[in-house]
A and B are shown apart, each in its own frame.
Chain A
Amino acid sequence: MIVDIHTAVGRWPFSAAQSLTPLRLGSLLARAGVDLALTSSLEAVFHEDPAEDNRRLFRQLRGHKRLLPVPVINPRLADWRAAVAEWAQRAVAVKILPSYHACSLASGAGSLGAGVDGLAEELAGRRRPLLVQMRMEDERVQAPALRVPAVPVADIVALAKRHPRLDIVALGAYRLEAGDLLRQTARVRVDVSFLDGLDVVAVLVKKHRAFAQRLLLGSHAPLFYAQASVLKVLTAETTEAVRRAILGGNAAQMLGL
């Protein structure tokens, strides 16, 4: 089973590409060979309170066999517990976008990160993974007037150290960042969407065999072409077992699928 941990529906305002409905996203992923995908709302990236976007997402994906809805939670909202209560039972994971919602993962103290530790604790208790969106775009090609920095590796490492029982998936790490995250933490996982370089998946796994259990297929579709990520894993010069794990086995295990 091929599981794509990193997809979305909706419209991305900085791209010429058209908005993708769940139906079109599903068919595009099917063509890339993806059996199951975790899907969030792109509109939720920009809304201070993503509650309505999450509700629309769950309605849109109801009955869709290939797409599993993942709610976005803004930990800066004082009622984040209500959001967790509303969604955590129905979702296999929860996503946060620290750069877009201006919350910090670096420290449990202070208003910028106040909700993050509570959310992390809550999700660890419920055995739900936390997906941390490191970036949505290559910073070099962002719209000049709307630059959003990436989430620093050090912040994710710090969060992981404060919450050792929590499953964290860093979405959108570059190759060097991925190496740092995998080396500096025991269980942070990384998706392959922004990884690049000559046979990058095989290179990472060759450096440390254990990394194979912490790499996940993520395409960042529809912002990115899904086939790019699928091909990175399918063609990696490593063992069939490693390829299968990254394509879906690791995700299935983490999500209890």
Chain B
Amino acid sequence: MIIDIHAHFPFGEYKHPADLDLFLRRARRFKVERICLSGHVNRYGFNPTARQVREINSWTLEAMARHPEQIVGLCFINPAAGAGAVRRELDWAIARQGFRGIKLWVSVNCRSRKLDPVLARAQELDVPVLQHASYNTLGKGAPHESTPADVADLACRFPAVRLIMAHLGHARVQGLTEIAPHRNILVDISGSQPARGLLEEAVRRLGAQRIVFGTDLPIRDYASILGRLYEAPMTDQQRRLILGQNAARLLRLETR
């Protein structure tokens, strides 16, 4: 089973409900059975209101309703909206609508205590958190963007919460060394270009059981992300873990 843990819809030029069919067709082409949607995270900038966050999650819910077999929802949250708003959104999305995880982007840095209510609720609900992170030689993409070191700090504060750090392609080896000691952090393999060596480095430093397949669709495509996974030297069992078994376990999805 192949599970894409990191995709966005609607996003960019793909705005209409029918555009989701393009995603699903592309997924079928690559035998991807489940796509986890994190919503249109940049639709309202870095600091969306509670109402805007609900709108973004409602689009994800629509996609889940239309394609329940393929689409898995991750609830987008802006922790800066306050503890009450966070709790209301998580209870609506996860407890009532069947979202299976939480997506955090760049609204708040991982070191901020504003994240504590989100992580505390994630622990209570027993759902994973997909957190954007990046090292960027050109500078931060957003004022509060988190680095792998920031994600490591968060993992330390909440060792019982399973964190998925997005974008192995932007983690650099430095990032891998920073998250390696924290067993509750996994990394998704999206980000940047299909540069040879980094995935092998991640398998060596983290182990395949801490790596998940994710694309950041539609910014990236299955070709460039799966190309990495199919060509990097590893065992079939390691590849199966990364392609879907780890994600299925994290998201409590049935495997075939």
Residues in A lying within 8 Å of B, measured CB to CB: 15-17, 28, 31-32, 137-144, 147, 194, 196-200, 221-232, 235, 237
User: A230 to B227, Cβ gap below 8 A?
Assistant: yes
Establish whether residues A144 and B228, one from each chain, have CB atoms under 8 Å apart when the complex forms: no
Contact among A224, A229, A237 with B196 in the assembled complex (CB-CB below 8 Å): A224
Which A residue's beta carbon lies closest to that of B194? Answer: A228
Residues of B that sit less than 8 Å from A by CB:
14, 22-23, 25-26, 29-30, 134-138, 169-170, 172-173, 192-198, 200-201, 217-228, 230-232
Check if B195 sits within 8 Å of A196, measured CB to CB: no
Q: Give CA–CA (A198, B23) in the complex, Å.
A: 8
Q: Which residues of chain B are within 8 angstroms of A232 by Cβ–Cβ distance?
A: 221, 223-224, 227
B196 to A231, Cβ gap below 8 A?
Answer: no
- Tell whether, in the assembled complex, residue B219 and residue A225 are in contact, meaning their CB atoms are under 8 Å apart: no
Evaluate contact between A140 and B173: CB separation under 8 angstroms. Answer: no
Partner among A17, A138, A197, A227 whose Cβ is within 8 Å of the Cβ of B227: A227
Chain A, Cβ-Cβ closest to B141:
A140
State the Cβ distance, B111 to closest chain A Cβ, in Å: 21
Q: Is the CB of B138 within 8 A of A15?
A: no
Task: Quote the shortest CB–CB distance from B212 to chain A (angstroms).
Answer: 18
Q: Is the CB of B221 within 8 A of A197?
A: yes
The minimal Cβ–Cβ distance linking A39 to chain B, given in whole angstroms, is 16
Q: Which of A139, A198, A222 contacts B138 (CB 8 A)?
A: A139
Using A222-B196, A227-B227 as known contacts, say yes or no to A235 and B30 having CB atoms under 8 A apart. yes
Partner of B26, one of A15, A141, A198, A228: A198
- Shortest A227–chain B CB gap in Å is 4
Smallest beta-carbon distance A207→chain B, Å: 11
Given contacts A16-B197, A140-B136, A198-B218, contact A231 B25 (CB under 8 A): no
For the complex of A and B, the 9 pairs showing the least CB-CB separation, nearest first, are A228-B227, A17-B197, A198-B218, A231-B223, A228-B194, A227-B227, A225-B231, A16-B197, A232-B223
Q: How far is the CB of B232 from chain A (nearest CB, A)?
A: 7
Q: Taking CB as reference atom, which chain B residue is nearest A174?
A: B193
Q: Are B221 and A196 in contact (CB under 8 A)?
A: yes
Shortest distance between the CB of A160 and any CB in chain B (Å): 25
Residues of B within 8 A of A229 (CB): 223-224, 227
Q: Closest Cβ of chain B: how far from A177's Cβ, in Å?
A: 14
Asked if A16 and B219 make an inter-chain contact with CB atoms under 8 angstroms apart, the answer reads: no
Chain A CB within 10 Å — which of B169, B195, B201 has the most?
B195
Contact assessment for A138 and B218 in the assembled complex, using a CB-CB cutoff below 8 Å: no
Min Cβ gap B6→A in Å is 14
User: Which residue of chain B lies nearest to A20 when distances are taken between CB atoms in the complex?
Assistant: B196
Q: Are B138 and A140 in contact (CB under 8 A)?
A: yes
Q: A197-B221, A198-B217 are in contact. Are A225 and B23 (CB under 8 A)?
A: no
Q: Please list 14 pairs of residues, one from A and one from B, whose beta carbons are closer than 8 Å in the complex, sorted by A's number.
A: A31-B231, A141-B170, A143-B137, A196-B221, A198-B22, A198-B217, A221-B196, A222-B196, A223-B196, A227-B231, A229-B223, A231-B222, A232-B223, A235-B222
Taking a contact as CB atoms under 8 Å apart, the answer to whether A15 and B196 are in contact is yes
From B137, B193, B197, give the contact of A147 (CB < 8 A): B137
Residues of B within 8 A of A228 (CB): 194, 223-225, 227-228, 231
Q: Which residues on the B side are within 8 Å of A141 (C-beta)?
A: 135-137, 169-170, 172, 192, 195
